[in-house]
Structure 1
Amino acid sequence: MQELSKNEDTKHIPFIFLSAKTERKDVRKGMNLGADDYITKPFNEDELVSAIESRLAKAALIKDDLTKTKQSKPLPNDTLHTLNDLKNFFDDVGETFLFSKGDVIYRESENSNYIYLIREGVVKNYKIDEDGKELITALYKEDDLFGYTSFTHNLPYQESATAMEDTELVGISKHELKDILDNNHRLALELIELLTDNLSSIKSQLLQMAYSSVNKKTAATILRFAEKINNKPEDPIKISRNDLASVAGVAPETFIRTLSKFKKEGLIDVQGRNIVVLNINKLQHIL
């Protein structure tokens, strides 16, 4: 029975025990082995026929349900040609994950088992240096993919990921995505282009942190959040000062002082913990 249950072609075949062992422990043992029914001797012929008919009918229903499920499930090799197709596939068959603000999604050096699509929320990728300082390397919002390391090698995550607000994700296994990409070269090229854009963004951020003035770093960070995270640039930026300073690559105290300066100049408004861009053109001019 155990061998039959491992085979997709035989796992749903009904199995009825016909035994002279009538003690409850024997019946329980038979059912625990995976039997669909347990009939003891002596038995009535009608009882046996009825049990067989009942189990065959149930097996037919299960088979019918499985057939419908397979027909309704997207076929990756035939239907996924673009990045949007892939995102729809995530939505249709991916596993759902819910995270509250501040929850760690994965940590650096953990096994990279899943690739994620954000249904709702904001996620940050970051690394921690030897002094315990956090460096945010990427920001992701609704409809963004993240969590990819290597599609061909079992590499761990190279950075950590945390939800910056309540977040809903859908994920598929890295191995499943690899199978999809192996059979969809156009999709693979689109994903390569996405990875290239991400690398370019990280390169620009590193250059900014290394060579830009504090004013430029602060302005660039505000614009980055306003354009990347918000639906509209003028929407409030609801991100902690520490996270903003981490992206800018400056100390939180320095970042806060620069915010005060920008507020006095009429570039932004500070409403409690939120930042509102008042003059996006002047901020861009600082760059």
Structure 2
Amino acid sequence: MKKILLIEDDTALRENTAELLELSDYNVITAANGRLGIEQAFKEIPDIVVCDIMMPEIDGYGVLEALASNEKTTHIPFIFLTAKTEHKEIRKGMDMGADDYLTKPFDEGDLISAIESRLAKSAILSMRTNGASINLDVVEDEDTPRNLNQLKNYFCDEGTIANYKKGDTIYRAGDHSNNIFLLLKGVVKTHTMDDNVKELITGLYKADDFLGFTSFEDNLPYAESATAVEDVELVSLSKTYLKDILIKSKDVTLELMNLLSDNLTDIKQQLVRMAYSSVRKKTASTIIQFAEIMNKNTSAPLRISRNDLAATAGIATESLIRTLSEFKKNGIIEIEGRDIHIVDLERLKFIE
């Protein structure tokens, strides 16, 4: 019987949840605050921890940090169960190494499903650590994604969904990169600062794009920041789980390598354009790029800040505004407030 440590300061919720888990054939240990939870974790070494965030003495983040820093408990799957739903809180917990995040009031089935999923993944990783590679292949044969579409479905099934408003930061340069993201809705920009503290947009990502790749071997920090250009919904998955999939599925690994190679080619082309193209060419190409990503066609009005357009094109905002005025005067685009409407796409494409 698997052992669950439930840390929750709300007495009624703690008792009701413990009863639910016991009826599902789990051995449940409870703690009323973070300090007691840490003591119980070190004493009992549970198979999984379900923990509230806002608690007296030591909060959930403190519990996670304490368990993650001790070699006896660092391997234990950790699920946050909390009323806090802001994306900053979700990102903080996941960046610290939490495996999942459920919000109150929660569905009983979702809690059981999350626990079963994390226990199964933990067992698989434990088998790998102990050298049980032969049985491991058999265990994951049916569940391991075989192509990128299945991998995206896996993200949605096993990952943590979060929503961000336009302008919200998803991650910052220097943050620990424990997760990979799949964008479900909206547009995200990645960006950095040059030596003159001028923003440079390094990439634009739309629905169905992966985001946030860094080394799988080292917990390197992000080299750039990611911000929502419009309202965004995305799902995050631990790099540990993704690495395990890539080890087992050569097809997924090859498809992902091709995808990342294409992304690298796009970045190189952007750098060449920024280095050698005229201001007019940079502006035209950037308008088309944003229009295709944000609207999926070039006939709909494009609402994007002039600063973002300039940062992507690699030119000064003042130069961009002057060029937009020129395009409008020549009948290539129309401008109404912040909206840009492409009138003559062919002329825009062939601007030099």
Range class of TM-score, shorter chain: 0.7 to 0.9
Task: Establish whether residue 239 from structure 1 lines up as the match of residue 304 from structure 2.
Answer: yes
CA RMSD of aligned residues (A): 2.8
Task: Establish whether residue 124 from structure 1 lines up as the match of residue 195 from structure 2.
Answer: no
TM-score normalised to the size of structure 2?
Answer: 0.61
TM-fit CA distance, 1:155: 1.3
- 2:255 — aligned with what? 190
SS for the counterpart of 2:298 is coil
- 2:37 — aligned with what? none
The separation in 2 between residues aligned to 1:134 and 1:239, in whole angstroms, is 16
The separation in 2 between residues aligned to 1:143 and 1:197, in whole angstroms, is 15
Task: Establish whether residue 146 from structure 1 lines up as the match of residue 211 from structure 2.
Answer: yes
Q: Which amino acid aligns with 1:202?
A: I
The separation in 2 between residues aligned to 1:14 and 1:246, in whole angstroms, is 53
State the identity as a percent.
49
Structure 1: 5+ residue runs without aligned partners?
16-31, 35-61
Contact 2:4 2:26 survives alignment (8 Å): yes
- 1:107 — aligned with what? 172
Question: Which residue of 164, 167, 170 corresponds with 2:232?
Answer: 167
Question: Which residue of 252, 259, 264 corresponds with 1:199?
Answer: 264
Contact 2:202 2:267 survives alignment (8 Å): yes
Question: In the superposition, relative to structure 1, how do residues 14 and 241 fare at CA in structure 2: closer, same or farther (>3 Å)?
Answer: closer
- 2:277 — aligned with what? 212
Contact 2:187 2:293 survives alignment (8 Å): no
Q: Which structure has the larger Rg over C-alpha atoms?
A: 1
TM-score normalised to the size of structure 1?
Answer: 0.75
Q: Which amino acid aligns with 2:294?
A: I
Question: Which residue of 158, 161, 167 corresponds with 1:93?
Answer: 158
Describe how 1:36-115 pairs up with structure 2 within 5 A: 77-78=141-142, 79-115=144-180
The separation in 2 between residues aligned to 1:244 and 1:76, in whole angstroms, is 45
Task: Establish whether residue 248 from structure 1 lines up as the match of residue 262 from structure 2.
Answer: no
The separation in 1 between residues aligned to 2:286 and 2:244, in whole angstroms, is 38
Aligned residue pairs total 234
TM-fit CA distance, 1:13: 4.3
TM-fit CA distance, 1:264: 1.1
The separation in 2 between residues aligned to 1:239 and 1:128, in whole angstroms, is 20
The separation in 2 between residues aligned to 1:190 and 1:252, in whole angstroms, is 38
- 1:12 — aligned with what? 26
TM-fit CA distance, 1:232: 1.3
Higher relative contact order (CA 8 A, sep 6+): 1
Question: In the superposition, relative to structure 1, how do residues 127 and 96 fare at CA in structure 2: closer, same or farther (>3 Å)?
Answer: same
Contact 1:152 1:178 survives alignment (8 Å): no
The separation in 1 between residues aligned to 2:161 and 2:230, in whole angstroms, is 16
Structure 2: 5+ residue runs without aligned partners?
6-24, 30-39, 45-108, 122-138
- 1:264 — aligned with what? 329
Question: In the superposition, relative to structure 1, how do residues 278 and 157 fare at CA in structure 2: closer, same or farther (>3 Å)?
Answer: same
